[in-house]
């Protein structure tokens, strides 16, 4: 059944005719930065004669390089701009879509005058989008879910803690996040998970802060559908700096966006690191912050955090165990993108010199599975988790690591 969908416009913005990219600082235009899905028979209808609009369409097909190489799609869409956006393509009244596609809209005043912010806010009621597109149903891999639930339930004993850990989802439009979220929920319904930990890089971090906020808030909503504790560890892309993006989040802003809901565990709500206790299991989980876009080198741990780790370990009840979560590993040889991890050795020294029993340090970032055993005063595994996006690039890999082969539309 057709439905009306409100479009969100940004003032002083245009869509580049050559690329379909969104561009700021064009005073006499306004455009949608977000992508909308249309199908055959969907329509855009102008209700105010003071404006004209043009439509940029994007196919659902995309280059396979995004699945198999170190490459991120511009503007976070797995799709291809079809061209055809020209000055003479601005419509007066109505635009009807002929096939399934994503689209954006750019508009201007008939009199050529500049566009105000107030006008941009009101244009969603001036340009009516009627969608005939069926809401895409995510793929739930029933056999894989059943298999995973069976393994969990076979191993589980009374008092055990079952955490789902994922990392590097790198959400994109027309990507696989909705499938991931649906399968997490399906697994929870069959196995009864106790918590979820995301080790960072929720999105690519290449779009405006407004769009990143919208994407992240939607993803968090999906994760909270499990109705279990959700812990978000910050990754480098979560700073929103990638591909030269200037709309960068400060650490304070990242804490407010990504770790909303974590106040119940946080010792300092403005910090991007904290611990949470699981008293029944006598387990303390430390969620660390391993990237600061303002620091040099950017990857690593500041001295305040190292001191906090020491005090947290010192204050851990006797006989309790420690589990650490971080986006990046504390050792540069485990990071394919950085030759130095700031204060990584100090972190490991703090762990070595503590009386606490360290179960493991679990991290993401490397887009591959690997178990590395740290041999210091203590011995414990440093575990890399493969990315939760449909991608299996083989370049930039730590020796001995394993990136699982990925096929779009299949479980892996």
User: Looking at the domain 142-384, which fold is it?
Assistant: Purple Acid Phosphatase; chain A, domain 2 (3.60.21)
**What pLDDT, on the 0 to 100 scale, is given for residue 188?**
99
pLDDT in tens, 51-101: 999 999 999 999 999 999 999 999 999 999 999 898 889 988 899 999 999
**Domain spans in the chain, listed from the N-terminal domain onward:** 3-131, 142-384
Residue 249, helix vs strand vs coil: coil
**What pLDDT, on the 0 to 100 scale, is given for residue 199?**
99
pLDDT in tens, 370-394: 999 999 999 999 999 999 999 999 9
**What pLDDT, on the 0 to 100 scale, is given for residue 134?**
87
**What pLDDT, on the 0 to 100 scale, is given for residue 339?**
94
**What pLDDT, on the 0 to 100 scale, is given for residue 111?**
95
| Distance from C-alpha of 276 to C-alpha of 228, rounded to nearest angstrom | 14
Please count the residues of the chain.
412
Q: Show the tokens assigned to 24.
A: 């700021």
**What pLDDT, on the 0 to 100 scale, is given for residue 121?**
86
Q: Show the tokens assigned to 336.
A: 């394919």
**What pLDDT, on the 0 to 100 scale, is given for residue 215?**
99
Q: Identify the segments of the chain with pLDDT beneath 70.
A: none
DSSP conformation letters of 126-182: TEEEEE-PPPPPPP--HHHHHHHHHHHHHH--TT---EEEE----B-BTSSHHHHHH
């Amino acid at each position: 059944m057709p439905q009306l969908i409100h479009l969100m416009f940004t003032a002083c913005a245009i869509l580049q005719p050559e690329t379909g990219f969104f561009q700021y600082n064009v005073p006499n235009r306004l455009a949608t930065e977000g992508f909308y899905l249309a199908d055959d028979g969907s329509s855009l209808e102008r209700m105010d004669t003071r404006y004209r609009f043009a439509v940029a369409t994007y196919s659902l097909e995309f280059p396979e390089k995004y699945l198999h190489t170190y490459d991120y799609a511009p503007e976070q869409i797995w799709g291809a701009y079809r061209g055809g956006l020209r000055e003479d393509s601005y419509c007066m009244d109505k635009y009807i879509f002929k096939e399934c596609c994503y689209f954006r809209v750019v508009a201007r005043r008939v009199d050529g005058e500049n566009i105000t912010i107030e006008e941009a806010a009101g244009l969603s009621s001036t340009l009516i989008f009627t969608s005939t597109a069926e809401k895409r149903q995510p793929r739930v891999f029933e056999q894989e879910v059943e298999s995973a639930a069976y393994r969990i339930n076979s191993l589980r004993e009374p008092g055990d803690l079952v955490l789902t850990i994922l990392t590097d989802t790198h959400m994109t439009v027309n990507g696989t996040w909705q499938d991931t979220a649906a399968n997490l929920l399906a697994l929870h319904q069959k196995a009864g998970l106790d918590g979820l930990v995301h080790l960072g890089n929720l999105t690519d971090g290449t779009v405006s802060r407004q769009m990143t906020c919208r994407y992240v808030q939607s993803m968090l909503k999906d994760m909270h559908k499990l109705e279990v504790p959700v812990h978000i560890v910050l990754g480098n892309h979560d700073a929103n700096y990638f591909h030269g993006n200037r709309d960068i989040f400060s650490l304070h802003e990242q804490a407010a966006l990504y770790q909303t809901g974590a106040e119940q565990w946080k010792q300092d709500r403005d910090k991007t690191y904290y611990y949470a206790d699981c008293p029944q299991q006598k387990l303390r989980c430390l969620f660390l912050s391993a990237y600061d876009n303002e620091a040099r080198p950017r990857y690593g741990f500041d001295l305040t955090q190292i001191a906090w780790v020491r005090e947290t370990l010192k204050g851990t009840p006797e006989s309790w165990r420690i589990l650490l979560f971080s986006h990046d590993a504390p050792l540069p040889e485990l990071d394919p993108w950085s030759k130095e991890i700031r204060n990584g050795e100090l972190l490991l020294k703090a762990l070595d010199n503590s009386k606490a029993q360290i179960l493991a340090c679990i991290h993401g970032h490397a887009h591959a599975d690997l178990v590395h055993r740290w041999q210091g005063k203590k011995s414990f595994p440093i575990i890399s988790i493969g990315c939760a996006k449909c991608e299996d690039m083989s370049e930039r890999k730590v020796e001995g690591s394993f990136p699982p082969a990925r096929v779009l539309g299949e479980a892996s």
